[in-house]
Amino acid sequence: MNVDIPRVGHLPLALNQVHNLLTCTECHIGLPFDWVPAHMKDNHGLKCDQVRILLQLDIVERTMNSMEAKDWLNENKVLANPVYGIPVIDGYGCSGCSYSARKSKVIYNHISDNHEDAVVRPKALEHKVQKVFSSHLKEYIRIIDGGDEQEIPDWQDKLSTQFNQMMANLNTTMPTEGLDLRLMNTFIAKIRYRVSYL
């Protein structure tokens, strides 16, 4: 019978004193203090308790717990400096608020759901993001990296621009040149749409 016995060894933990947060140095995620024993057992086969964590890190008081981590996320949607030890990746954000995500599709859905009544429609912006926690606290936060944000063109604007370019080039197209079938289909769809409202 093969029994998985938890190892006792050095815990892969680091203390971030700036944010009063523990990070797993192997998984590269933030850990609320109350999650550490379960994370170490489930992901690294290490047994620990709160006293051992405090002793290893040479601290007297615990770091933020999961309730405090939730509040911290609500207060820190944008950070000037990333949380050390957690990857900073390319992501996207909403120009109308501080919401961030890894994929632009999530931002477009957010804009449609939350900003549809806005006078000026927010845009999706490229910027750096960081996912500090996992589980139910897995929100992306924006990292200010000093670089300029770049606006992501809306697909409707991009399609209209391509359509207008195709229409401008239509008069100059030689009969032997081929036309882009996607743009022709768009042209036909726009004509049908306009005719249906006449």
- Which residue has 């996912």 as its token pair? 131
Q: What is the DSSP string of 54-74?
A: HHHHT-SS----HHHHHHHHH
The length of the chain in residues reads: 198
Taking the whole predicted model, whether its pTM rises above 0.85 is answered as no
Two tokens, residue 40? 């170490």
Q: What is the pLDDT of residue 3?
A: 38
Predicted confidence (pLDDT) per residue in 71-123, tens digit = 999 999 999 888 999 999 999 999 889 899 999 899 989 988 998 888 888 88
The domain locations on the chain are 13-69, 77-152, 155-196
Amino acid at residue number 72? W
DSSP 31: E
Two tokens, residue 64? 């933020």
Q: What is the pLDDT of residue 47?
A: 92
Residues 6 or more apart whose Cβ sits within 8 Å of residue 21: 15, 30, 31, 63, 64, 69, 72, 83, 132
